[in-house]
């Protein structure tokens, strides 16, 4: 997309220049090559890049052999889907300034790249800070780097994005 297209996408959601300029996240290339990582807990098929799938499968297998279950909550998301998530919150009366602290501005979500996976584990409410109290999180902290995964939004990150212990991305090349 060129910058006029992005301006249109953002302005339709009431995302002004100021918010875009304040965003320190990198603009993400949307993935073109996607493969299935299987269904999530709700039965929706989740997509990732081939490289991310390979790293994920190796990591999930290693975790399982250590008695740790890793589950995918959400992986690839299109720009359109990200817009819909934000529109749903606007429709419920949330303010755009607050929404973009939780949902990246469309174009800036690492989920567009197909390399990011929101992870949960058994007996944990998905997408909550409580994930960092689980054995799965402790396992990830100790082992994810071996499989090229890193947590993108640690506490007090420089992106002005909330702490997301569940959000991990595969660092390709
Ligand atoms: Zn995420």
Return per-residue pLDDT of the chain as tens, 173 residues: 888 899 999 999 999 999 999 999 999 999 999 999 999 878 899 999 999 999 999 999 999 999 999 999 999 999 999 999 999 999 999 999 999 988 999 999 999 999 999 999 999 999 999 999 999 999 999 999 999 999 999 999 998 889 999 999 999 76
Q: How far is the CA of 7 from the centre of ligand 1 (A)?
A: 23
Helix axes 135-143, 50-65, angle to 10 degrees: 120
Q: How far is the CA of 14 from the centre of ligand 1 (A)?
A: 22
- pTM for this predicted structure: 0.93
Structure tokens at 15: 């995302």
Looking from the CA of 136 toward its CB, the CA atoms found within 13 Å total 25
- Give the domains, in start order, of the chain with CATH numbers: 3-170 (3.30.1380.10)
Q: How far is the CA of 78 from the centre of ligand 1 (A)?
A: 13
Q: How far apart are CA 131 and CA 136, in angstroms?
A: 8
Q: How far apart are CA 10 and CA 8, in angstroms?
A: 5
Looking from the CA of 134 toward its CB, the CA atoms found within 13 Å total 23
Q: How far is the CA of 166 from the centre of ligand 1 (A)?
A: 7
């Amino acid at each position: 997309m060129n910058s006029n297209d992005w301006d249109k996408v953002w302005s339709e959601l009431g995302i002004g220049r100021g918010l875009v300029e304040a965003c320190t996240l990198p603009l993400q290339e949307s993935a073109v090559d996607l493969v299935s990582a299987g269904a999530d807990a709700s039965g929706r098929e989740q997509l990732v890049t081939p490289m991310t799938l390979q790293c994920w499968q190796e990591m999930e297998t290693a975790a399982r052999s250590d008695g740790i279950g890793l589950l995918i909550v959400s992986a690839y998301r299109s720009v359109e889907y990200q817009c819909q998530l934000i529109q749903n919150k606007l429709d419920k009366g949330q303010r755009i300034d607050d929404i973009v602290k939780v949902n990246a501005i469309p174009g800036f979500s690492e989920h567009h790249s197909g390399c990011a996976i929101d992870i949960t584990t058994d007996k944990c409410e998905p997408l909550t800070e409580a994930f960092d109290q689980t054995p799965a999180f402790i396992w990830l902290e100790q082992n994810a780097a071996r499989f090229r995964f890193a947590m993108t939004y640690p506490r007090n990150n420089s992106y002005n994005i909330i702490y997301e212990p569940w959000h991990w991305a595969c660092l390709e090349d």
